[in-house]
Structure 1
Amino acid sequence: SHLKRPTFMTFWQMCFLTLYDFACVLIYQREFHSLKERLRVAEHRTLQRSSELRSILEQFRRIIVDASGSRNTSVSDETQNLLKELAHKKPLQVPNIYYHMPHLLNSPESLHPAVLVGQGRKGVSIVMGIPTVKRQVRSYLAETLHSLINKLLPEEKLDCVLVVYILDFILTFVVHSRARCSTSCHFPRFSSEFSSGLLEVISPPASYYPDLNNLKETFGDSKERVRWRTKQNLDYSFLMMYAASKGLYYVQLEDDIVAKPNYFGIMKNFALQLSTEDWMILEFSQLGFIGKLFQSPDLNLVVEFILMFYKEKPIDWLLDHILWVKVCSPEKDAKHCERQKSSLRVRFRPSLFQHVGLHSSLTGKIQKLTDKDFLKPVLRNIHMNPPAELSTTLKVYQGHNLEKAYTGEDFFWATTPIAGDYILFKFDQPVNIERYLFRSGSPEHSGDQIENTNIEILPFLFENGVTEGSLDPVFNPVAAMRLAVQRNSSVWVVLSEIHIKKLPG
């Protein structure tokens, strides 16, 4: 359908109105978002403690049932009546980890680390989880730790914690047997990091794992690979459960990576920048599970979902299923689903972590995986734009399409526009817009700027038409936006930044 009775604003007027941020405002805004996140985490932990207390009460009730059913005459009739009354006040049974992993009931220590080396630091911004296992050919762990630690500023070393998770039972025994001497026994080059609280080492007890020898082979995977991916799901879950109460955010890493300079500051600032948005995963690498950042309150949901299906599928598939369940409709097509999932899973480019390991933790597997985005410089700002169907009459040049520009992956580049050409953003759901920014040109192509173009806004609900001028809150929610070319242009066009910021809430 055609856009009717649009509101007009020239491109240059729009740019002038949107470029007003000051450094002090950004600082206060970042501090406010950080405080808001900490309050949200505190509220979540309060609810978690309440759940744990209810679980303890349930166990107490079970003990009471056993006691009240016994023939112990030392308990008075009045006391037994009180015990029975309490036991019968039983709430609905809520499934928990023991429902999916009943073998844990056989050992009270199943959910406690068998090895825990470090200072137990909490209250940080980011917790980094690093699973490691003894590899047959070469270990990359020391190289990974050096890269992560050496690229932290002094103040950043106080605001994070690196948790190394040992998956190998033999290596766990070695570390555990040396735990009495000092951290220098098993990680001699990182003794100062252990002492300061920056670095920790944990390992699960053998009783945490169920029997992994009789798993159903699915999706064409061999028995060995099914066992490997199943154990991996359990390992990620244990590590996430341990990390959930230690910081605002949790980022999943691997033991065979290197990091970019300033990686910590970039991750933290990007997460705080999106603190008013409803995201679930921030991706700082395009490879596997590397560089996936979560808000700590979301880890419980992730762990619960993984534990429900840990035998069925690998971790990356399960994460995608979580997003599908949250936002995809079976009545919509796959493209609509992908747009909706992109609002929960935000990709930061370029990648902050590079995979360097050649020999996989899966015995005999060689993996020549590298992240092509790792070497690219940061050329543009990345924004979390609302899901939208994108279209244009402009002729796209060399694959620099509109979709990549909208997600911040690339810039949009098109040949010479003529009058009547347009770029249309049709939102999947009408949105309340706070402000917007469309930046044209780039350092390499500074002359390829949008000229003689209007911004047209189609309100979802309006009365008596739309008045020309700047965007007013009365026009919200907005169903679509369009860049409409008014006159022929003599140059090509580059759209290097697109930001459509929704109102909070």
Structure 2
Amino acid sequence: MRRRHAAALLALVSGGFLCFSWFSTMRHSREEILLFQHQLKALNEHLYRAEERYVQRTQDLKLLLSKVRTINNRSVQRTDENAKWQHLPVAERRGTVLSSMTGLDVLHIPSLYHYLPHLQGRHEGLAPAVEVSTRRAKVSLVLGIPTVKRTDQTYLVDTLNSLIHELSHEEREDCIIMVSIGETNISFVNTMVENLQNRFGLEMASGLLEIISPPEMYYPDFSKLRETFGDAWEKVRWRTKQNLDYCFLMLHAQAKGTYYVQLEDDIVALPNFLSLMKNFAEHQPSEDWMVLEFSQLGFIGKLFKSSDLNIIVEFVLMFYKDKPIDWLLDHILWVKVCNPEKDSKHCERQKGNLRIRFKPSLFQHVGKYSSLSGKVHKLTDQDIGNPALQSVNMNPPAEVSTSLKVYKQYGLAKAYLAEDFFWALTPKANDYIMFTFLQPESLKRLQGNKRYYFRSGNAEHPGDKLSNTTVEVLLALENNIGKEALNNGKNRNSKVKQTEDGYRRIGNLFF
């Protein structure tokens, strides 16, 4: 009986243990499942966030690749763009740089494209359709000559002959004559270029003479011009196109030289015109000037600093449909210095500081027939002066003095400036005429191949001449110019004598 109870108890205990173990195992498995489910949910969320990041990174990568392709495309185009870049005004270059840096097109800085909207996005409209050039640059002066087809008579060849004939060998190396043919008929332009090459082949090969011609797209639709100042439409069109031709020429000349001189295709030049202009510009007492005038007619003989051409071009393009360029130039000067609260006389005095006149004129207008079809004019510069007197005005800044007694108003200073002649009473022994250069100068350089040049007497008073006169110089020995001159003088002529006061006698005058 006890055994049966013991067996029953053992069976009961065993059954309880198995039941507890089964329930314990089930509870343990349920906790693992819950934990696994929690981990799986967390993994799903992690994968979802990773997928979101992947999508975002993919978009970022696409945007980056797009920018890289854009940069590469710009790099490929840069060679062509660089050729056009130098002709853009400063404002346009600045706008291009900002747009490139930001990648935005919302910043629109005013430039010439705002005044020539038909060229928006067409930079090739500023590149020459025809160009003959050796890429000469860094010269002192660029002489700009716009020309067009004339129906009556052409003067361009005569003008070029005159300019080139009056240039010394040294001057031909230090300037550029740039001719712009303002015609869109390529056949006519090519024929004209061929004719110029036949006549001036050496000058073109050396880089002295360059030829450009604007493309047809450079010009806007002239049919929409409004008539102004009572002028007929044909005249309005003529002066509007002329303004554009001036601007095109200036844009292409600005990077080539220190100064730019505006000329016309129907002028003749006086001797030594280039050195006279350069010397006059370099020895201005102030840098505030904007234009130096070497002719009183229209836009002939106007010299500008190349650094000012951007301002001039942009101003002219603002109003190129409204007024001729010489009027617009006067407006530029008014804007810069005139006070609206002062009278016109004060304004003219202020403008006189920016616009400085050289007298006498260096260029004469010879064209009888205007480039405006049917117009005949006989404009000549009455201030052309005496070429014989003017040709000696190669003088650098100097202080002048003399012991001679001056006759009336004919002083030495005006003769040195080629404004008049010097006239004095009969000299005595030890009288002198002295020129003290403000800076050491090479006498040989002043007159090309001439070391120095004096002229005495005239047809009205043939007896009033310098005679028994010596030419003496005091060398600037502390300067390389003086040392070189002294050594050269010793090598060439051992008979050069030195005076007691240190001067060296280099010549005698016996007129």
**Is TM more than 0.5 here?**
yes
Give the structure 2 partner of residue 198 of structure 1: 208
Larger radius of gyration: 2
Residues 274 and 189 (structure 1), Cα distance of their counterparts in 2 relative to 1, 3 Å cut: same
Q: Distance in 2 between matches of 1:100 and 1:167?
A: 19
Give the structure 1 partner of residue 339 of structure 2: 329
The correspondence for 1:113, drawn from 128, 149, 162, is 128
Q: Is the 8 A contact 2:89 2:310 kept in 1?
A: no
Give the structure 1 partner of residue 243 of structure 2: 233
Q: Is the 8 A contact 1:184 1:190 kept in 2?
A: no
Q: Distance in 2 between matches of 1:163 and 1:310?
A: 22
Residues 205 and 382 (structure 1), Cα distance of their counterparts in 2 relative to 1, 3 Å cut: same
Q: Does 1:173 align with 2:187?
A: yes
Q: Does 1:56 align with 2:91?
A: no
Q: Which amino acid aligns with 1:55?
A: G
What is the SS of the residue equivalent to 2:378?
A: coil
What is the SS of the residue equivalent to 2:141?
A: strand
Q: Does 1:162 align with 2:177?
A: yes
The correspondence for 2:167, drawn from 135, 152, 155, is 152
Measured against aligned partners, the alpha-carbon deviations of 1:213-268 in whole angstroms (never above 9, x if no partner) come to 11111111111111111111111011001000000000000000000000000000
Deviation at 1:174, TM superposition (A): 3.1
Q: Distance in 2 between matches of 1:206 and 1:410?
A: 47
What is the SS of the residue equivalent to 2:347?
A: helix
Deviation at 1:295, TM superposition (A): 0.3
What is the SS of the residue equivalent to 1:282?
A: strand
Measured against aligned partners, the alpha-carbon deviations of 1:246-295 in whole angstroms (never above 9, x if no partner) come to 00000000000000000000000000011633100000001000000000
What is the SS of the residue equivalent to 2:223?
A: coil
Measured against aligned partners, the alpha-carbon deviations of 1:79-124 in whole angstroms (never above 9, x if no partner) come to xxxxxxx446x78532011111110025331010001012121100
Q: Distance in 1 between matches of 2:292 and 2:232?
A: 32
Residues 339 and 409 (structure 1), Cα distance of their counterparts in 2 relative to 1, 3 Å cut: farther
Deviation at 1:341, TM superposition (A): 0.6
Q: Which amino acid aligns with 1:169?
A: T
Residues 350 and 54 (structure 1), Cα distance of their counterparts in 2 relative to 1, 3 Å cut: closer
Q: Is the 8 A contact 1:286 1:351 kept in 2?
A: yes
Deviation at 1:150, TM superposition (A): 0.7
The correspondence for 1:101, drawn from 116, 137, 143, is 116
Q: Which amino acid aligns with 2:110?
A: P
TM alignment of 1:374-453, pairs within 5 A: 374-376=384-386, 378=389
Residues 53 and 322 (structure 1), Cα distance of their counterparts in 2 relative to 1, 3 Å cut: closer
Q: Distance in 2 between matches of 1:116 and 1:223?
A: 31
What is the SS of the residue equivalent to 1:375?
A: coil
What is the SS of the residue equivalent to 1:360?
A: coil
Count of aligned residue pairs for this structure pair: 322
Give the structure 1 partner of residue 309 of structure 2: 299
Q: Does 1:369 align with 2:383?
A: no
Give the structure 2 partner of residue 76 of structure 1: none
What is the SS of the residue equivalent to 2:339?
A: coil
Q: Does 1:252 align with 2:266?
A: no
Residues 185 and 217 (structure 1), Cα distance of their counterparts in 2 relative to 1, 3 Å cut: closer
Q: Is the 8 A contact 2:276 2:394 kept in 1?
A: no
Give the structure 2 partner of residue 211 of structure 1: 221
What is the SS of the residue equivalent to 1:155?
A: helix
Deviation at 1:185, TM superposition (A): 5.2
TM alignment of 1:10-159, pairs within 5 A: 54-60=94-100, 86-87=102-103, 92-105=107-120, 107-159=122-174
Q: Which amino acid aligns with 2:287?
A: E
Residues 289 and 309 (structure 1), Cα distance of their counterparts in 2 relative to 1, 3 Å cut: same
Q: Distance in 2 between matches of 1:185 and 1:282?
A: 33
Deviation at 1:312, TM superposition (A): 1.1
Q: Distance in 2 between matches of 1:290 and 1:275?
A: 24
RMSD: 3.4
Q: Distance in 1 between matches of 2:93 and 2:112?
A: 15
RCO higher in structure (CA 8 A, sep ≥6): 1
Deviation at 1:409, TM superposition (A): 11
Measured against aligned partners, the alpha-carbon deviations of 1:325-369 in whole angstroms (never above 9, x if no partner) come to 011011111111111111100000000000000000001000100
The correspondence for 1:356, drawn from 358, 366, 373, is 366
Q: Distance in 2 between matches of 1:184 and 1:234?
A: 25
Q: Distance in 1 between matches of 2:249 and 2:272?
A: 25
Q: Distance in 2 between matches of 1:343 and 1:319?
A: 14
Measured against aligned partners, the alpha-carbon deviations of 1:5-43 in whole angstroms (never above 9, x if no partner) come to xxxxxxxxxxxxxxxxxxxxxxxxxxxxxxxxxxxxxxx
Determine what percentage of the aligned residue pairs are the same residue.
56
Unaligned residue ranges in structure 1 (runs of 5+): 1-44, 62-85, 384-399, 412-433, 435-442, 445-505
Residues 313 and 51 (structure 1), Cα distance of their counterparts in 2 relative to 1, 3 Å cut: closer
Q: Distance in 2 between matches of 1:317 and 1:91?
A: 35
Give the structure 2 partner of residue 270 of structure 1: 280
Q: Which amino acid aligns with 1:231?
A: K
Measured against aligned partners, the alpha-carbon deviations of 1:474-498 in whole angstroms (never above 9, x if no partner) come to xxxxxxxxxxxxxxxxxxxxxxxxx
Q: Does 1:317 align with 2:357?
A: no
Unaligned residue ranges in structure 2 (runs of 5+): 1-84, 396-408, 421-437, 439-456, 459-511
Give the structure 2 partner of residue 346 of structure 1: 356
What is the SS of the residue equivalent to 1:302?
A: helix
Q: Is the 8 A contact 1:285 1:292 kept in 2?
A: yes
Q: Which amino acid aligns with 1:255?
A: D
Q: Distance in 1 between matches of 2:198 and 2:219?
A: 30
Q: Which amino acid aligns with 1:101?
A: L
Q: Distance in 2 between matches of 1:230 and 1:335?
A: 30
Q: Distance in 2 between matches of 1:145 and 1:55?
A: 39
TM-score by length of 1: 0.58
Higher strand share: 1
Residues 105 and 53 (structure 1), Cα distance of their counterparts in 2 relative to 1, 3 Å cut: closer
